[in-house]
Chain A
Amino acid sequence: MSAPLRSRLAVAGDEFRDNAAAMGALVDEVRALHDDVLAGGGAQYVERHRARGKLLVRERLEALVDPGTPVLELSPLAGLHTGDPVGGGVVVALAEVARTQCLVIANDPTVRGGTTSPTTIRKLLRAMDVAEENRLPLLLLVESGGADLPRQADVFVPGGEQFRRLTQLSAQGIPTICVVFGSSTAGGAYLPGMSDYTVMVEGRARVFLGGPPLVKMAIGEDADEEELGGARMHAETSGLCDYLARDEPEAIRMARGIVAHLHWPRLGPGPVDPPDEPLYPAEELLGIASVDVRVPFDVREVIARVVDGSRFEEFKALYGAQLVCGWASIGGYPVGVVANNGILFSPEAQKGAQFIALCNRSDTPILFVQNITGFMVGTRYEQGGIIKDGAKLINAVSNSTVPHLTLMVGASYGAGNYAMAGRAYDPRFVFTWPNHRIAVMGPKQLAGVLSIVRRNAAAAARRPFDEAADEELRQATESQIEEESTAQYATGRLWDDGIIDPRDTRTVLAIALTAVHSAPVRGTAVFGVVRH
């Protein structure tokens, strides 16, 4: 077994203390945002919902999951800084139900009646990706008013995908279980419609294509809601309802029973290494990274606080030293770690590509730890083939078939984001520390580039250059880009699966690895053509 990493972190020093304080403040900000999401649509709507004798969305989730098991909500802050309700009015969670890890999608009916915004659609589709890629049974806890009608133009067409994806999950043999607690009408009626199993709560579920007002408008019929789409009607007459529940708790029990009878097999290998805790406390993860992503730190200090027993078998330690590669395990699941310790040069890129190929040969999932300001630039490096070598790394990342997990612990700028399995490279999960920054380049660089472009344009046109105006514009650009590259901005757009408390990194990755191993873990020997 490999030796544990030795930490050189000065936990008593000022730098550590300042980092921890600043990171702690960012964590508190995120927690405050979570609290807003937990408050649903606000006290008034929560009260109204309770007054109807209904459980709140997270109470439904809590009743569904096995007692004492962890729950990881994905993209809890989706929609942040977009104008959509934060969270998208839907809870997506990795949760254990009847000893089976499942993907749960649950509407929060207190948020604009559980209606669908563009964020909701993005979050739902992302959830279905997670279910499909990781072969997780999908549970839908439905109570939704359907499309947010004033925004129908933004949701109608893309929203159709969810129903296609549902039946495609079913076609792949991934169970889909829909529990209807309230309205699930119009397009929403296809949620139960396309699911393998449907449970409906008597007297509560309303499932119809057109409600009484629409029926009146369309065919002049005076329809009764219960006869049109009540749970009992669907259970006895239409056959859309497979399980009729007397109340919400019974519906949840039935859903648990369905999952239990699936005896859903986990097709990936189980944990094989000792799952002992790291030698260094998770608390110290707060003080490693500066909130200023320009301040470098040794990524091994992060690895030492995340992997089992802090053990790390480093690969090619002396070659391409700014990319740390090696083998470790989390919760006993072996992982290959690819982590930035600075800019990517050609040796780093080549080393990374080789390591990824090795992980594929041994069917080992890869954890990418991103803290990258980009590939090295400059004449010397361009002439040295940095594009050619960078392409090798991007080729390897793109064609690798073992599961990738991406952890953002600092900067993610430029093509470094791509080479290190950024969102566009379909890692199974992306989790972000709250200090994270993401953009095509650093805000200062980007503003400076634009300034140079303006200066050159003025010179070419022989116009006088207004230094003061340029400075003003440069600063405005810098602060705009700064704002658009924050972790909060990124998570609002689902560029990640959630901002996490750095101290929870090991737990979050262990849950993600548990999900990943629900599906087979298979590497490949087939990669794209490379230039040597």
Chain B
Amino acid sequence: MIRRLLVANRGEIARRLIRGAHDAGCEAVAVYAGDDAASPYVGEADAAVLLPGASLAETYLSAPALVGAARAAGADALHPGYGFLSENPDLAEACAAAGVVWVGPSPDAMRVMGHKARAKELVAEAGVPILPSAVVGPEADEHALRSAASGVGYPLLVKASAGGGGRGMRLVREERELADAVAAAQREAVAAFGSDEVFLERYLEAPRHVEVQVIGDTNGSVLHLLDRECSVQRRHQKVVEEAPATQVADAVRRQMWDAAVAVARAVDYVGVGTVEFLVDADGFFFLEMNTRLQVEHGVTELVTGLDLVGLQLAVASGLPLPLAQSDVGASGHAVEVRLCAERPREDYRPTPGTASHVHWPQGPGLRTDRAIESGSVVSPAYDSLVAKLMAHGQDRAAAVIRLARALRGLELDGLETNRDLLGAVLDDAVFGTGEADVHYLDSRPDLRDAALPEEVRRRHAAAAAFCLTGERASASLVPVPAAGWRNVGRALHVDRLTDGVGTLQARVGGTGQPAEVMVGDEWRAVGTASGDDGLVDLATLDDGLRRRYRVRLAGRHVGVNGPEGQSSFVLHADDATDERGGVAGECRAPLPGTVSKVLVAEGDVVAEGDGLVVLEAMKMEHTLRANGAGAVTQMHCAPGQQVDVHDLLVTVEPT
């Protein structure tokens, strides 16, 4: 039995593993880098070990540090979670060497599956369908390349053998693109994985991503725990996952289960793993096997009622699986969305920040595995996954409705996320059919357009109405209610609010309540804010509907939660501290003196605070610095030159 588990990960999965450890009756020890000291998971563990160092390589990616932490904490097992070193055989071996139980498969199984080309060979031997492919060595000439390619068939993908995550991947539709694509893929593969071996693989035009959860024990028993569908992806990263897979014929589904078990058996798999397939009209094809707990394991847990982490710990302890294949069945349907701090419309650019307020939706059938709580910081140093929201229902439609509603009820202030994209997907008709393929999200930029423009305007309006009449208005010295009162004309409060899409000006006018709000040049609404609790009732003039929003202000961050979701704005109130740096421009002599040194030349690019000229005056040397970033366009002085006060010395053009 494992007594004390070292959780070698962070964020939401660390919390999941801590919970799993506690459920299994063992203690959990967290590890944390300095910037994670205040993360919720650290406090939830029974003990925590600081991983010294500032870089990932020194902390969560350092096998010696992790094993050292396990020893220091007296842990008898180590769970790697997902990501980081979760599929790293060296860590598994280091654990073994230190006498710490590795919660995962054998290093050999990980090595085989980590090498894409070798994995395919092995899988094919086990009788599992694979896509036609051919390995291309660095020595292959153009002729060899062409013949390998025609064997595979077009269109095809060039992939790094050691790769993953889409890196080093190239799509080739015609023979003439082949050579360049291979060369490029080799370069990327070397840079990313240290090996220039690539292989060609048949490309499917519109496949769906279906995967089978498997689990094996040390007694050689291997079961499948049904399937999941993860076709909604953005650039090879899953966004929406569900269990079971939709729109798969029962016969095919069974073949995939059997195939997955066969793959696991082929590597004597111990622990939980996932065998991924691409599915299209012609059948299913092995894609890869992930030798760890998946991000999306929760949907399997919801439909099967199993605790995958608990099973992992049991199997790692050497216990036999406590269930047989016939015990595994699905009840209803579960859907998960990955809530990330990112801006979908800017190529999913991460949007780290501080969540000033979070309220996670609760209700029947809902599960939220989350990394953050109110006040948590999402650091740019780590993955942008903030939470996994899952809903379980009697069928797919029920689960989707539940999840969509939960998303709308989520209050998350101060942090920009992909919530509106997730909501748009759940509402989308194509997604509703269950037939979305892996290109679905990338081919639907409309879904990335944050919220509907009208809804964004409404949220702006609610935020602005609140700023005039709500919390910020309570500071008047006049002791009778007179918010926004004017005897001549109307109060006019102008706020500039920035969200992921851009900056909109909101003008709030009117005497007292309700206030009239104008967003942009013409859109209007009438808002009534009730004093302290941040509630704003907004009646829009375009559709005549009244909606209720809850607005919270934390410093300059405004969080608006409404019936259709949430927006976070940054308020540019005119009393805000001016955060602009200095403006580059002219550097003039502050006093008469002699130029003793010139530190820059025309054409140089300077940052704010960079030295430009050293001026000797009154027996002191004064370094004159750039007021702001820019380029030096003209020097007006030379060493030895006498200058008078205010003489122009350097011209810097702002960048």
A binds B: yes
Q: A249 at the A/B interface (Cβ < 8 Å)?
A: yes
A508 to B469, CA, bound (A): 19
Cα–Cα, bound, A237→B646 (Å):
9
What residues of B have a CB within 8 angstroms of the CB of A71 in the complex? 485-487, 491
Residue of A nearest to B479 (CB): A331
Residues of A within 8 A of B476 (CB): 66, 68-70, 96
Within 8 A of A (CB), among B578-623: 578, 583
Determine whether the beta carbon of A275 is less than 8 Å from that of B480: yes
> Which one of A68, A277, A330 lies within 8 Å of B493 (CB-CB)?
A68
What is the distance, in angstroms, from A286's C-beta to the closest C-beta of chain B? 16
Q: Cβ of A253: which chain B residues have Cβ within 8 Å of it?
A: 574-576, 578
Report the minimal beta-carbon distance from A488 to chain B, rounded to whole angstroms. 15
Interface string of B472-494 (1 = CB under 8 A from A): 11111111111111111101111
B473 adjacent to A76 (CB under 8 Å): no
**Is the CB of A333 closer than 8 A to any CB of chain B?**
yes
Chain B positions within 8 Å of A237 at CB level: 646
Contact B477 A514 (CB under 8 A): yes
Q: Is B574 a contact partner of A63 (Cβ separation < 8 A)? A: yes
The reply to whether B492 and A73 contact each other, CB–CB distance below 8 Å, is no
| B-side contacts of A58, CB under 8 Å | 489, 492
Contact B475 A514 (CB under 8 A): no
Chain B CB within 10 Å — which of A266, A500, A501, A511 has the most? A511
Which residues from chain B contact A249 at a C-beta distance below 8 Å? 574
Instruction: Decide yes or no whether A4 CB sits under 8 A from chain B.
Output: no
Contact status B487-A500, CB under 8 Å? yes
**B573 on the interface (CB 8 Å rule)?**
yes
B468 interface contact, C-beta 8 A:
yes
Is B487's CB under 8 angstroms from A72's CB? Answer: yes
Closest approach, in angstroms, between the C-beta of B100 and any C-beta of chain A?
59
User: How many angstroms from the CA of A271 to the CA of B480 in the assembled complex?
Assistant: 11
A70 close to B574 (CB less than 8 A): no
Chain A neighbourhood of B477, CB < 8 A: 69, 96, 99, 101, 266, 514
Counted as pairs of residues, one from A and one from B, with CB atoms less than 8 Å apart, the total is 114
In the bound complex, what is the Cα–Cα distance between A246 and B581 (angstroms)? 13
Contact A59 B492 (CB under 8 A): yes
Which of B467, B478, B492, B576 has the largest count of A CB atoms less than 10 A from its CB?
B478
Tell whether A70 pairs with B486 under 8 Å between CB atoms, given A236-B646, A253-B574, A256-B574: yes
Chain B residue contacts of A68, Cβ below 8 A: 467-470, 472-476, 483-484, 491, 493
Which residues of B are found within 8 Å of A510, using beta-carbon distances? 478-480, 482
Q: When the two chains form their complex, are residues A66 and B475 in contact, meaning their CB atoms are under 8 A apart?
A: yes
- Measured CA separation A196–B583 after assembly (Å): 27
Residue of A nearest to B476 (CB): A69
Q: Within residues 238 to 253 of chain A, which ones have a CB less than 8 A from any CB in chain B?
A: 246, 249-250, 252-253
Known: A34-B488, A98-B575. A67 touches B482 (CB 8 A): no
Point out the residues of chain A lying under 8 angstroms from B489, CB to CB.
34, 38, 58
Q: Which residues of A contact B575 (CB under 8 A)?
A: 98, 253, 256
A-side contacts of B487, CB under 8 Å: 34, 71-73, 76, 498, 500-501, 504, 508
Q: Which residues of A contact B583 (CB under 8 A)?
A: 246
Instruction: Report the bound CA distance from A346 to B468 in whole Å.
Output: 52
Interface centre among A37, A250, A331 (most CB of B within 10 A): A331
Minimum CB–CB distance from A199 to chain B (whole Å) comes to 14
Tell me whether B574 and A252 are in contact (CB under 8 A): yes
What is the CA–CA distance of A237 and B475 in the complex, to the nearest angstrom?
40
Interface membership of A507, Cβ < 8 A: yes
- Give Cα A18–Cα B573 distance, bound, in whole angstroms: 47
Given contacts A62-B494, A253-B574, contact A507 B488 (CB under 8 A): no
| Chain A residues near B472 (CB-CB < 8 A) | 67-68
Within 8 A of A (CB), among B532-581: 573-576, 578
A514-B479 Cα distance, complex, nearest whole Å: 8
A351 within 8 A of B: no
Q: Which residue of B lies closest to A249 (CB)?
A: B574
For the complex, give the distance between the alpha carbons of A38 and B575 in Å.
25
Once bound together, how far apart are the Cα atoms of A76 and B646, in whole Å?
A: 46
Which residues of the other chain, B, contact A296 by a CB distance below 8 angstroms? none
Contact status of A69 and B478, CB under 8 A, knowing A237-B646, A498-B487: yes
Q: Which residues of A contact B480 (CB under 8 A)?
A: 275, 277, 330-331, 506-507, 510
Q: How far is the CB of B541 from chain A (nearest CB, A)?
A: 22
Number of interface residues of A (CB under 8 A): 46
Chain A contacts for B475, CB-based, 8 A: 66, 68-69, 96, 99
Asked if A332 CB lies within 8 Å of chain B CBs, one says yes
* 0/1 interface trace, chain A 72-98, chain B, CB 8 Å (1 if under): 110010000000000000000000101
CB distance from A144 to the nearest CB of B (A): 20
What is the CA–CA distance of A501 and B487 in the complex, to the nearest angstrom? 8
Which of B470, B478, B493, B576 is within 8 Å of A70, CB to CB?
B478
Given the known interface contacts A69-B475, A99-B475, A510-B479, the answer about A62 and B485 at a Cβ–Cβ threshold of 8 Å is no
Closest CB-CB distance, B447 to chain A, in whole Å? 36
The residues of B that contact A333 with a CB separation of less than 8 Å are 479
Tell me how far the C-beta of A273 lies from the nearest C-beta in chain B, rounded to whole angstroms: 10
The one of A59, A70, A330 in contact with B485, judged by C-beta atoms closer than 8 angstroms, is A70
B-side contacts of A514, CB under 8 Å? 477-479
**Closest chain B residue, CB of each to CB of A512:** B478
The answer to whether B479 touches A275 (Cβ under 8 A) is yes
Residues of B within 8 A of A498 (CB): 487
- Chain B, range 117-137, C-beta contacts under 8 Å to A: none
A415 CB → nearest B CB, Å: 30
Chain B min CB distance to A220 (Å): 26
- Give, as a whole number of angstroms, the nearest-CB distance from B490 to chain A: 9
Name A330's closest neighbour in chain B (CB-CB).
Answer: B480
The minimal Cβ–Cβ distance linking B258 to chain A, given in whole angstroms, is: 67
Q: Which of B485, B492, B583 is the most central at the interface, judged by chain A CB atoms within 10 Å of its CB?
A: B485
| Residues 304-333 (chain A) with a chain B CB within 8 angstroms | 330-333
Closest Cβ neighbor of A69 among chain B residues: B476
Tell me the nearest residue of chain B to A55, going by C-beta: B494
Tell me the A22-73 residues at the B interface (CB within 8 Å). 34, 37-38, 58-59, 62-63, 66-73
User: With a CB–CB cut-off of 8 A, which chain B residues contact A266?
Assistant: 477
B486 / chain A contacts, CB cutoff of 8 Å:
70-71, 73
Q: Closest CB of chain A to B608's CB: distance in Å?
A: 16
Contact A69/B494 with A252-B574, A507-B485 known, Cβ cut-off 8 Å: no
Task: Write out the residue numbers on chain B whose beta carbons fall within 8 Å of the beta carbon of A76.
Answer: 487-488
Q: Which of A96, A250, A277, A506 contacts B578 (CB 8 A)?
A: A250
Q: How far is the CA of A58 from the CA of B477 in the complex (A)?
A: 21
Q: A96-B476, A275-B480, A514-B478 are in contact. Are A67 and B488 (CB under 8 A)?
A: no
Q: How far is the CA of A72 from the CA of B576 in the complex (A)?
A: 25
B646 contacts across to A, CB distance below 8 A: 236-237
Q: Report the Cα distance A67→B571, complex, angstroms.
A: 13
Residues of A within 8 A of B478 (CB): 69-70, 96, 331, 507, 510-511, 514
Q: Residue on A with the closest CB to B583?
A: A246
Nearest CB of chain A from residue B300's CB, rounded to whole Å = 51
| CB-defined contacts of A271 to chain B, threshold 8 Å | 479
Cα A511 to Cα B481 with chains together (Å)? 11
Contact present for B488 and A70 (CB under 8 Å): no
The proximity string for A residues 510-532 relative to B, scoring 1 for CB distances below 8 Å and 0 otherwise, is: 11001000000000000000000
Minimal Cβ-Cβ distance residue in A for B515? A68
Interface centre among A96, A98, A507 (most CB of B within 10 A): A507
Q: Roughly how many angstroms separate A76 CA and B486 CA in the complex, as a whole number?
A: 12
29 A-B residue pairs with Cβ-Cβ distance under 8 Å, sorted by A, are A38-B488, A59-B494, A62-B494, A63-B574, A67-B468, A67-B493, A68-B472, A68-B483, A69-B477, A69-B478, A70-B486, A71-B486, A72-B487, A73-B486, A73-B487, A73-B488, A96-B475, A96-B477, A98-B575, A99-B477, A331-B479, A498-B487, A501-B487, A504-B487, A506-B480, A510-B482, A514-B477, A514-B478, A514-B479
Known: A253-B574, A507-B480. 9 other contacts (CB 8 A): A34-B488, A62-B493, A68-B476, A68-B493, A69-B478, A70-B486, A252-B574, A511-B478, A511-B482
4 A-B pairs closest in CB distance: A68-B473, A331-B479, A70-B485, A70-B482
